[in-house]
Structure 1
Amino acid sequence: MAAVLIDSFGRTAVDLRVSLTDRCNLRCTYCMPEEGLQWLGKPQLLTDEEIVRLVGVAVRDLGVTGVRFTGGEPLLRPGLVGIVAACAALEPRPELSLTTNGIGLARTAAALRGAGLDRVNVSLDTLDAATFHTLTRRDRLRDVLAGMAAADAAGLTPVKVNTVLMRGVNDHEAADLLAWCLERGYELRFIEQMPLDAQHGWDRRSMVTAEEILERLAARFALTPEPSTRRGAAPAERWLVDGGPAVVGVIGSVTRPFCAACDRTRLTADGQVRNCLFAREETDLRAALRSGAGDAELARLWRAAMWGKKAGAGIDDPEFLQPVRPMSAIGG
């Protein structure tokens, strides 16, 4: 087996998603119930040092070039700035990014940038305060917008915005959200709702598809496929808006899957390797690490986990089963 994270279909994983916590301070309807979930206990979570060590194995020994910190909500991790700084000091240095709901980003953006974070993705599904409360069950829209502005001012650019449209809730805001992002120099990416909610209530019939999203945008903007780059392993298909240079992305994870070019590997907050977002199996690196395994053994286990990656997520398969863990526990 090669030293890199290659699977049996010839795909090589160079993009590592690291969940820092399963906790979140929002209760988005498409993610978790209003009462929240049973969070992982502290002994189950990787320590800051364990996270940095495993990221180091991935970067030095397995060819990973990009690391994205996720959650839950990663800004709830007390040691986040230190983790970023330690990962930025690795050789070779990986590109470091963060996916966040933006709450708390206003007070941490500058420190994260100083620690070595390169950019952020902020989840924002609506510009309407009442709709935000309906979707997230929290009145925090002002904090999210302030966090985005702080990230932009700190140089965590381009600030990317992740939006999930819900039929009959916020799908009428697609063009307004794009206009708002264009005014501020943010890069908007719409994401099809995926079957990763804790309630297992996802329904394909209510999902706003990539095709529908593009139709809504085309009613106000001229969209042309971005000619300068190939999509490759990037999840978003990108379009120039009104001739460019601004772009908008659409991630059609369900109707336009990109499994054939996937380059991701995932590490959960409790130290499990997942070779696919929708995987139903995991490989326990935490137990190996805590039992004294060396870096070479950790790398071997990680390579074996990735070798078994399936050809596709299988959402279109009639026998598709959601992962037991919801998105908040897997990491985005």
Structure 2
Amino acid sequence: MAANGITLARKLPELKECGLTSVNISLDTLVPAKFEFLTRRKGHERVVDSINTAVDCGSNPAKVNCVVMRGFNDDYICDFVELTRDKPINVRFIEFMPFDGNVECQETRSLLTNAGQSGKGKLFPGLKRLQDHPADTAKNFRMAGHIGTVSFMTSMTEHLCAGCNRLRLLADGNFKVCLFGPSGVNHILPCHSDLLLNFSFLQVIEPDHIIAIASSSAVCVYYVCLT
């Protein structure tokens, strides 16, 4: 589950009981004043508390998503890496992406690409490359002597679409396979029926193979073209 971490700390124990095993918490700065400027709200300490609570609840690793912005938080990259020293935290440095018409991301690209290409760079001299899962969208490293890990997600300079197997469930109940894709398929109503739920998954993953759907209060049948 991905979250902003504002209210997550008090909910994590119950979510863990419901089966949640991993969380991604967004934190783009370690400076409270910059956090308030970026998010237009207070709450930096609450996000940090959520990260620590995730670790205490057994998330291994607890993932921290940090979007790198040159001139705003790139001077704290080493401090983010330091979070991985004594705790099973995976800090994920993410390339700035052009959402909502914001296309000024070129200047941040070389920063992450150069840092993530090798563990012997000037910025991270102690990084050791780790084995990635075939479906990973990040390059994974570990700093010598650290418990946690560091990842680089360079989705703009090095497209990762071919290896991505993500199916995203948004807060509004929609499924999406890509953040840049069209509006997703709502799954709230299908949750009342296994057949409808299976269809909603298929509608997102293989929309071109669906021919028709017939339903009534008693039965739901969907027709799929397998060729």
TM surpasses 0.5: yes
Are 1:234 and 2:136 counterparts? yes
| Residues 267 and 274, structure 1, Cα contact 8 Å, conserved in 2 | yes
| Residues 140 and 152, structure 2, Cα contact 8 Å, conserved in 1 | yes
Partner of 1:191: 94
Are 1:118 and 2:37 counterparts? no
Partner of 2:79: 176
1:224, 1:212 → 2: CA distance?
15
Partner of 2:33: 130
2:151, 2:202 → 1: CA distance?
31
Partner of 1:141: 44
Kindly indicate which of the two structures has a greater share of residues assigned to strand.
2
Shift of 1:220: 4.3
How many residues get paired? 205
Partner of 2:108: 207
RMSD: 2.9
Structure 2 counterpart of 1:177, one-letter code: F
Identity in percent: 31
Shift of 1:212: 4.3
1:204, 1:251 → 2: CA distance?
14
Q: 1:208 to 1:170 in 2, by over 3 A?
A: farther
Partner of 1:264: 166
Shift of 1:171: 1.0
Shift of 1:267: 3.6
| Residues 221 and 242, structure 1, Cα contact 8 Å, conserved in 2 | no
The answer for unaligned runs of 5 or more in structure 1 is: 1-97, 310-332
The answer for unaligned runs of 5 or more in structure 2 is: 209-227
Q: 1:218 to 1:245 in 2, by over 3 A?
A: farther
Shift of 1:124: 1.2
Are 1:155 and 2:54 counterparts? no
Shift of 1:283: 3.9
Paired residues for 1:41-56 under 5 Å: none
Q: 1:155 to 1:298 in 2, by over 3 A?
A: closer
Give CA deviations for 1:102-130 in whole Å, capped at 9, x if unaligned. 11223222222233221222111111122
Paired residues for 1:286-325 under 5 Å: 289=190, 295-300=194-199, 302-308=201-207
Are 1:253 and 2:155 counterparts? yes
Q: What is the TM-score normalised by the length of structure 2? A: 0.76
Partner of 1:280: 182
Structure 2 counterpart of 1:253, one-letter code: S
Structure with the greater alpha carbon radius of gyration? 2
Are 1:100 and 2:3 counterparts? yes
Does the residue aligned with 2:60 lie in a helix, a strand or coil? Answer: coil
Structure 2 counterpart of 1:143, one-letter code: R
Give CA deviations for 1:195-251 in whole Å, capped at 9, x if unaligned. 224xx223232434421444897424322321xx34411111102322766421011
| Residues 231 and 237, structure 1, Cα contact 8 Å, conserved in 2 | no
1:276, 1:156 → 2: CA distance?
25
Decide which of 109, 128, 143 is 1:224's aligned counterpart: 128
Shift of 1:261: 1.6
Shift of 1:286: 5.5
